[in-house]
Amino acid sequence: MKKFIALVLALLMISALFVGCAPAATTEAADATDAPAAEKTAADVKIVLLLPGQINDQGWNASNYAGVVACNEQLGTNMEYVEAVAEADFESTFREYAERGYDIIMAAGSQFDEAAATVAASYPDTLFMLVNGSNNDGDNLCPLFPKEYEASYLASIIAGYITTSGKFGMIGGDPNQAMQDLMAVYGKTAVSIAKERGIADASFNLAYANSWSDIALGKQMSENMIDEGADVMFAYANELGLGVINGAIEKGAKVVGFSSDQTTIDPATVVASINFDYATMYVWAINNWLQGNLKGHQTIEVGVAEGIYFPVYTDNCPQEAIDACNAAVEALKAGSVDLKAMFD
């Protein structure tokens, strides 16, 4: 009996020894701090878009706001937006949302570039994505650059065919590099087409308002240019551009709309428009970020080939202008046009 008890005790000791030496796998798996974090869903990602103007400007801000709506509807994000951020508040607004842990802070316009670069270094976990930005010198700076000079090229072809005087009025909000490039393409192309049509003294008059929102100033500048002979106006200046169109309406000049379908304002004046489909661009960009394809130190360029820009015509636009513009769309898609050669 004693031998039997001794044998049982020995077996129990051996069993305890093996249990004590077994790896504690279940204990580690239960440690939540060691478990990998779940990937964020589209609905969980915190994204905000900063706009320099109002979303009802029928131009730049409206086009970018359409991207917010499209992302929320198509991707299931809960993207937010802030209207009319004043230049003096750029940096503080970036900091506010970065401090709140936003994954992506977008801003619409090159005027946000400097503030974004200043703030980004302090918030490495936030991606700063500027539409029309140019600074990608940072691990979390990823500008989204729509090739607006392709859109202005299409607008200039229409302008070149609808002018009778060969005098083109051009108004920009601010002379940043992207604006200068698109204006150079527009002016040179419109004048070239007018001269091909026999208007030997064709020329353009370009001015910058140094404002994006002063509608009264836009109207005054438009009327002055028309009084000096311009019969086709072109503006890229957010709300100020609405003033340019108002001036053309009163003075009886034509307009080639830009950045949204501005033909709805007055189709007798705005006989055609180059629409910006930024809804498609935003969905593409945010979806690529969700898939891990967008990071800092890169500039993403998109244009006509990606379906971002397309013309809208009214019955008041001549067929030869429509045909020429449609042909230009196909040429841009094929990559057979070198527009950068026209940059100043």
Share the mean pLDDT of the chain: 89
pLDDT attached to residue 238: 85
Q: Is residue 337 part of a domain?
A: yes
pLDDT at 92 over 80: yes
Q: Is the pLDDT of residue 111 over 70?
A: yes
* Residue 191 shares a structural domain with residue 318: yes
**Is residue 41 situated within a structural domain?**
no
- Cα 127 → chain centroid: 15
Confidence of residue 188 (pLDDT cuts 50, 70, 90): very high
Same domain for 53 and 82, yes or no, is yes
338 phi, psi to nearest 5 deg: -100, 90
| pLDDT over 70 (residue 3) | no
Mean pLDDT for the stretch of residues 37-43:
70
- Tell me: do 321 and 174 sit in the same domain: yes
Q: Same structural domain for residues 290 and 142?
A: yes
Q: What's the DSSP call for residue 134? A: -
Q: Tell me the CATH number at 159.
A: 3.40.50.2300
- What's the start-to-end Cα distance of the chain, in Å? 107
Taking 3-state DSSP, the helix, strand and coil percentages for the chain, each rounded to the nearest 5, stand at 50, 15, 35
Asked if residue 12 is part of any domain, the answer here is no
Do 178 and 98 fall within a single domain? no
pLDDT bucket at 21, cuts 50 / 70 / 90: very low
Task: Identify which of 237, 236, 232 has the alpha carbon closest to the alpha carbon of residue 193.
Answer: 232
Total structural domains within the chain = 2
How far is CA 271 from each of CA 254, 314, 317, rounded to the nearest angstrom? 7, 5, 5
> In 80-94, which positions are buried (b, 16+ CB within 10 angstroms) versus exposed (e)?
ebeeebeeeebeebb
> Would you place residue 142 in the very low, low, confident or very high pLDDT band (cuts 50, 70, 90)?
very high
Structure tokens at 320: 């030869």
- Residue 59: the pLDDT is 85
pLDDT value, residue 96: 98
Query: In the beta sheet, which residues pair with residue 49?
Result: 81, 106
Beta strands (DSSP E) in the chain are 47-50, 80-82, 104-108, 127-131, 144-146, 167-172, 203-208, 232-236, 254-259, 270-276, 300-302, 309-313
Same domain, residue pair 218 and 173: yes
- pLDDT value of residue 183: 98
Q: What pLDDT is stored for residue 169 in this prediction?
A: 98
Total H helices, total E strands in the chain: 11, 12
At 56-73, the pLDDT tens digits run 988 889 999 999 999 999
* Four-point Cα dihedral 32, 33, 36, 37, nearest 10: 90
User: Is the same domain home to 170 and 259?
Assistant: yes
Q: DSSP secondary structure string, 51-73?
A: -SS-TTSSSHHHHHHHHHHHHHH
- Is 143's pLDDT higher than 60? yes
Q: Check residue 25 and give its pLDDT.
A: 30
- Size of the chain, expressed as the number of residues it contains: 344
Least confident range of 25-39, 52-66, 101-115: 25-39
The pLDDT score that the predictor gives to residue 106 is 98
Q: What is the pTM of this model?
A: 0.79
Whether residue 304 has pLDDT greater than 70: yes
The residues, any chain, with a CB within 8 Å of residue 100's CB and separated by 6 or more, are: 46
68 or 27, which is more confident: 68
31 found inside a domain:
no
Is the same domain home to 241 and 336?
yes
Say whether both 70 and 206 belong to one domain: no
pLDDT of residue 8: 38
Calculate Rg over the CA atoms of the chain: 29
What integer is the mean pLDDT of 131-160? 96
Tokens matching residue 136:
């990608």
Share of the chain above pLDDT 70, in %: 89
Q: Which domain holds residue 334?
A: 148-275+309-342
> 15 or 279: whose pLDDT is higher?
279
Q: Give the C-alpha separation, 333 to 12, whole Å.
A: 80
**Chain mean position to CA 290:** 18
- Tell me what pLDDT residue 2 has: 39
Answer yes or no: is pLDDT of 1 > 70.
Answer: no
Question: How deeply is 301 buried, as exposed, middle or buried, from its count of CB atoms within 10 A (0-12, 13-18, 19+)?
Answer: exposed
Q: What is the mean pLDDT of residues 313-329?
A: 98
pLDDT of 17 over the 80 cut = no
What pLDDT was estimated at residue 26? Answer: 24
Res. 299 pLDDT band, cuts 50 70 90: very high
Across 190-330, the runs of DSSP E, i.e. the strands, are 203-208, 232-236, 254-259, 270-276, 300-302, 309-313
